[in-house]
Chains A and B, each alone.
Chain A
Amino acid sequence: MRTRRFIAPSSLVWLLLGGLYFFIPLLATLLFSLDSNQTGKCCTLHSYGWVLHNGDFWHSLKISLFLALETIAISLAIFVPTVYWVHLKVPKLRPLLAFLALIPFVVPPIVMVVGLLNVYKGAPSWFYDQPWGFLAAAYVILAFPYMFFSLDAGFRSIDVHTLTEASQSLGSSWPRTLFTVILPNIRSAALAGSFLALAIVMGEFTIANLAQFHTFPIFLQYVNETQAYPAAAVTLMSFCITWFAMLSLLFVGRKRGARGAVIAGVR
């Protein structure tokens, strides 16, 4: 219930300040991207055309988007049951998990690459050749903190015990309970975690660079180093693409529920 129908003035001030801070660099990038290569002034869509006609752009974009979906799918498949189990059976482990979730967050990517290379020493060669192996594994780890905190918040907001017990007393098996009862109820938390995983994959540069895969952020870097104006265009596009992908996840989430996302991905 609203006391008054209008926004509080102090709120407005802060939101405007925030809005300006976030928006101006994007605007600047937009203006730059519209500058022509020849004259250095506004306004042309030439840069955008260059980007859209560039084969590498589409190739790397596809790789990254697919990688993102893979990361999300694997993350959900691993973390949803894990967090569910911890909340249900071993709540004492929760602080430990929270602690672990902080580690990928603050460890520098370089250190992580070294560590991962050590861990996966015995893996088959395709694991290193294709981004779907090594890189996805790295990204799942990077996404773990965001996934964990989102899912954790989601599980805390529902009564896990009551729902599970009700479902079981009606004869449901574990997998069934998980998919039909629990998952729909933590839908928004799972989506939030997925958004953040998507954003990570679309923005992660260091590990991809060190491991020499051609993801979208690598392509961005390449353009930035070679062409100024298209660089602005592609920067802006990457921001918008990610934002758009997030909004569409939101939309899908509202219609089909997280169950759809998980099953489709795992396949």
Chain B
Amino acid sequence: MLAGAFKGATGGWTFSNVSTALHEPYRSAYWNSIELSLVTSLVGGVTGLAIAYSAIHERTPRWVRSILTTFSGVAANFGGIPLAFAWIATLGAIGIVTRFFQNQLHYNLYQHGFNLFTKTGVELVYLYFQLPLMILVIAPAIDGLKKEWREAASNLGANAWQFWRHVGLPVLTPSILGAIILLFGNSFAAYATAYSLGYSNIITVTIGQYYTGNVFSNPHLAQALALGMFVVLAVMMLLYIPLQRRAARWAK
């Protein structure tokens, strides 16, 4: 695939594909993907952390965690068409929630600028599998937060916020960052969901169009685009590994 990126339509070696890939309209596709992934990974990361912690917390009944874990396992892979469909049924033009707002609260969402089929809408939908993924990934790290730390902090006079600020978050940060990077990659590589929502200006859908010959057929350009994706993902991985090592150190 790497080689294919540098080949031309005529069979010779060329940079033209790669340079085309870096220009419009592909550049905006890359940016969209990156922005989409950043937003969903950050929002998903923070929210997922809060939800996971709430479920694992001492005072929460055990069954909550089991349900959350099994549900997250299903939801993390609930993507593509069914997911798009479920959200269209919820917040689409005639979706249940849209209609609810319209009829009961007399507030027309779509007139006020909301649209499921824009980037924001896609972000909202992406969270449906980003959140569970975050929950699944961060749960073991939260398990690693020893009860004694919380108690010792409390004993020394700290309230909940102080504990998190001085101990909890610092210890969890490598794991959190690692998880967010994972979420970023997951979102960046997602394809089917955006496709079914009709939002095509992201990089994966674009590549799909070129590779399977739906619109134009230029497999080498597609490969060049894929190379670009690989670069982004590789950068991501390079950031991830030292973070993992840091996290492991404190797990001892």
A and B held together in a complex: yes
Given contacts A106-B233, A153-B140, contact A28 B86 (CB under 8 A): yes
Q: In chain A, what residue has the closest Cβ to B204?
A: A108
Give Cα distance in the complex from A24 to B99, angstroms. 13
Interface residue count on the A side (C-beta < 8 Å): 65
Give Cα distance in the complex from A250 to B71, angstroms. 13
Q: In chain B, what residue has the closest Cβ to A108?
A: B189
Give Cα distance in the complex from A8 to B85, angstroms. 35
Confirm or deny: A7 has a beta carbon within 8 angstroms of a beta carbon on chain B: yes
Give Cα distance in the complex from A235 to B82, angstroms. 5
Contact stretch, chosen from B11-19, B50-58, B104-112, B166-174: B50-58
Closest Cβ of chain B to A179, distance in Å, is 26
> A205 — which chain B residues lie within 8 A by C-beta?
79-81, 192
Closest Cβ of chain B to A141, distance in Å, is 14
Contact status B81-A14, CB under 8 Å: no
Confirm or deny: A158 has a beta carbon within 8 angstroms of a beta carbon on chain B: no
Confirm or deny: A168 has a beta carbon within 8 angstroms of a beta carbon on chain B: no
Contact status A199-B85, CB under 8 Å: no
Contact status A4-B59, CB under 8 Å: yes
Residues 23-65 of chain B, each 1 if its beta carbon lies under 8 Å from chain A, else 0: 0000000000000000000000001001101110111110010
> B131 — which chain A residues lie within 8 A by C-beta?
18, 21-22
User: Across the A-B interface, how many residue pairs have beta carbons closer than 8 Å?
Assistant: 179
Task: Report whether over half of chain A's contact residues are helix, strand or loop; otherwise say mixed.
Answer: helix
Closest Cβ of chain A to B202, distance in Å, is 11
Closest Cβ of chain A to B74, distance in Å, is 5
Contact status B82-A224, CB under 8 Å: yes
Confirm or deny: B117 has a beta carbon within 8 angstroms of a beta carbon on chain A: no
Residues 147-162 of chain A, each 1 if its beta carbon lies under 8 Å from chain B, else 0: 0010001000000000
Give Cα distance in the complex from A115 to B210, angstroms. 17
> B126 — which chain A residues lie within 8 A by C-beta?
none
Contact status B192-A110, CB under 8 Å: no
Contact status A32-B89, CB under 8 Å: yes
Give Cα distance in the complex from A236 to B47, angstroms. 25
Give Cα distance in the complex from A204 to B136, angstroms. 19
Contact status B59-A2, CB under 8 Å: yes
Contact status A196-B58, CB under 8 Å: no
6 closest A-B pairs by beta carbon, nearest first, are: A106-B185, A11-B54, A28-B90, A203-B77, A199-B77, A28-B96
